Amino acid sequence: MKSNTRKTLDEFIIERQDDFQYSTGELSRLLNSILLAARVVSYKVRKAGLIDIIGAVGTTNVQGEDQQKLDLYAHNIFVETLVNREIVCGIASEENDNFITIQGLDQSHNNKYVVLMDPLDGSSNIDVNVSVGTIFSVYHRISPVGTPVTMEDFLQPGVNQAAAGYILYGTSTMIVYTTGFGVNGFTLNSAIGSFYLSHPDMKCPEDGNVYSVNEGNYVHFPRGIKNYIKYCQEEKENRPYTSRYIGSLVSDCHRNLIRGGVYLYPSTLKTPNGKLRLLYECNPMAFITEQAGGRASDGNRRILELTPTELHQRTPFYCGSKNMIDKIEEFIANEEK
């Protein structure tokens, strides 16, 4: 690690406190709570196979997907940590049907922030030892302070995010986050439990040569996306591109953020509204990507400008290098003419 990257995340947050508009320390404390939960989940992920935390629990979530043991464990850890710190007034999770209202020990509802999260993205990969992650998004509440949170506090467009980030549990554990002032990545030194600045001021290359998509669904893709994939495979100019698909949104987007590339999860005949969740996955990943100089789109519109109408709303999702997203939108528009 270079000498100029030995700053801890705690030190970095303190230095950047002035960046947190309208905050008197709550957002810093909130981020520290997320870090605490991340350390615990990272420890458990690395023990998968040694203790009984892999496999399905026999239940499904609100989307009808099988819940993994680690899904519920991560959900409980993040919720418990945030509740115990008395920092947020509400939490929404991909694993819960509805949002959770939180009040202080004095029965008040005075906290300013709500958190939305996918506690363990890509959890089906745990059984085969593939990288997984946590995605989180933070908003200022819009309901009056002192009253219980409402659905409107969670159904905000992504442009309103106060912070967003993801934690990658891979060969090392990393947190990458933004508060609207660029993107920085920190790597966990598990020996002492501290995150150190390892990827300062992350920038997504404007171009890339990697496309990440589940091509097993190719026959169900819209014609514009089929044409784009054929374009990626042509032997022209700097193509063909390389296909890299892990099946974990955090892992695929993290690689493309660093090296350049594009992630695609289009609508299909089976999922005409897309599959990824706007609030728990797309908005936070879009905020991070844009802050790093990339783009995120549903194929026609900027993801961050979509107004949610449901807590578990889905959307097509294209995210990554700016010029590659421009080209995807061009192919979609040409097919829609």
Q: Which residues are annotated as a binding site for substrate?
A: 121-124, 214, 245, 263-265, 275
Q: 181, 16 in Cβ contact below 8 A?
A: yes
Largest CA distance in the chain: 66
How is residue 113 written in tokens?
């922030």
Annotated binding site: 94, 118, 120-124, 214, 245, 263-265, 275, 281
Instruction: Detail the residues annotated as belonging to a binding site for Mg(2+).
Output: 94, 118, 120-121, 281
Q: What is the 3-state secondary structure of the chain?
A: CCHHHCCEHHHHHHHCHHHCCCCCCHHHHHHHHHHHHHHHHHHHHCCECCECCCCEEEEECCCCCEEEHHHHHHHHHHHHHHHHCCCEEEEEECCCCCCEECCCCCCCCCCCEEEEEEEEECHHHHHHCCCEEEEEEEEECCCCCCCCCCHHHHCCCHHHEEEEEEEEECCCEEEEEECCCCEEEEEEECCCCEEEEEECCCCCCCCCCEEECCHHHHHHCCHHHHHHHHHHHCCCCCCCCEECCCCCHHHHHHHHHHHCCEEEECCCCCCCCCCEEHHHHHHHHHHHHHHCCCEEECCCCEHHHCCCCCCCCEECEEEECHHHHHHHHHHHHHHHC
Closest by CA position to 102, among listed 31, 93, 161, 178: 93
